[in-house]
Amino acid sequence: MTDPIKETGPSAVKACLYEKGDEAGITELFEKVFGRKMSREEWMWKYTGEGERSVYSSVAKNASGEIVGHYGCMVQRAVHRGREISGISIGDVMTHPRFRGIRLFRDLATIGPTEAVRHGIVLGYGFPNERAFRLPEKLGLYEKVEDVFEAGKDVQFHNNLNRYAYRFFPLRYDDRRIDALWEQLKGGFHLTLIRDSRYLRWRYQKHPFFSYELWGLKKRWEMALTGLAVVRRDKDRMLLIDFVCPLDLLAALFQKVDNYAYTAGVKRLVFWLPDYLRDRIIRAGFSVNPAGTSIPRSTIEGYMKKEEMKGKFFYTMGDTDFL
């Protein structure tokens, strides 16, 4: 990206909604701010990958039309109390160093999410670290819902009843049992993203640079799927990126993932969990510590209140856009 030198300072720019074609400037800015190249294909995957036609991100442009700020809003399908809703997860928040200012940030963080509300989107959230959360909280744009926790344990092999009662096997993304499992379990979630085969294909199979493995869990002598897990190897760790199963089978699923990690030769098994599962996870043999991030909600009028999210929102590492 060529550094804009004629117009500097936040007063020299204007925030507006994304328009088709802006992705070229957004990806250039991403490389300038974060030091990693984002391809147009990655941008398309992230913001339109599930077939979403509307983009509610906001951008800031200087007088020359160069994009110098961005506030990303990724549309997500979710379920709340058994009803399908739409939400936005916030990411790729960035401003060119020469144009940073409180007014500009407030405009960027308001324009896109406000437009999303007008189109029926009712859930707004993200996973910022402490530093990234500080300014929007001070401006009253974010309200912390809860801290995110990371569960971890040294890998071990479980030679017990679950080893023989259940089978853990590679699962195809087009396996019809995935949607049957989701239909069976979705009513047990107060609030979560929809984890059906459409979502899994988009989020994991089609990811532009990470490789994931999809595994199924079933009773040894039956065909029905009783759970699934998405894992990714990260050096000497195995990340349990996502999982879906009944609460009473969590221990069995975790033990199967643990056994797989053991045979793969990794040393540590790690995943994120919402606070309401902490006691259950500790009983399963994991230590639980702060993950260094939190989940806030957008305070713009029309978004779900904190009371509907705190202690009720099921999320995993897969709900972020960076793991």
Q: Per residue of the chain (323 residues), what is the pLDDT tens digit?
A: 445 445 555 567 999 999 999 999 999 999 999 999 999 999 999 999 877 778 999 999 999 999 999 999 999 999 999 999 999 999 999 999 999 999 999 999 999 999 999 999 999 999 999 999 999 999 999 999 999 999 999 999 999 999 999 999 999 999 999 999 999 999 999 999 999 999 999 999 999 989 999 999 999 999 999 999 999 999 999 999 999 999 999 999 999 999 999 999 999 999 999 999 999 999 999 999 999 999 999 999 999 999 999 999 999 999 998 88
Q: Which domain holds residue 203?
A: 156-266
**Residues 16 and 103 occupy one common structural domain:** yes
Could you tell me whether strands 83-95 and 123-126 are parallel, antiparallel, or unpaired per DSSP bridges? parallel
Asked which of 121, 138, 166 is the last residue of a domain, the reply is 121
Angle CA 132–78–73, to nearest 5: 35
Asked which of 233, 250, 266 is the last residue of a domain, the reply is 266
Location of structure tokens 């993950």: 291
**Residues 193 and 249 occupy one common structural domain:** yes
**Residues 191 and 97 occupy one common structural domain:** no
Identify whether 31 is part of a domain.
yes
Count structural domains, the chain: 2
**Chain centroid to CA 37:** 20
Looking at the DSSP bridge assignments, the partners of residue 112 are none
**Residues 111 and 14 occupy one common structural domain:** yes
Identify whether 60 is part of a domain.
yes
> What CATH number should be reported for the domain holding residue 239?
3.40.630.30
Task: Give CA–CA dist 216/178, Å, rounded.
Answer: 9
Task: Give CA–CA dist 180/195, Å, rounded.
Answer: 11
Identify whether 275 is part of a domain.
no
**Residues 253 and 167 occupy one common structural domain:** yes
At residue 23, what are phi and psi to the nearest 5 degrees? -60, -25
| Beta-carbon contacts of residue 153 (< 8 Å; ≥ 6 apart) | 258, 268, 269, 285, 286, 287
Looking at the DSSP bridge assignments, the partners of residue 114 are none
Model pTM score = 0.93
At residue 290, what are phi and psi to the nearest 5 degrees? -55, 140
Task: Give CA–CA dist 93/45, Å, rounded.
Answer: 17
134 neighbors 293 (Cβ within 8 angstroms): no
Task: Give CA–CA dist 219/197, Å, rounded.
Answer: 21
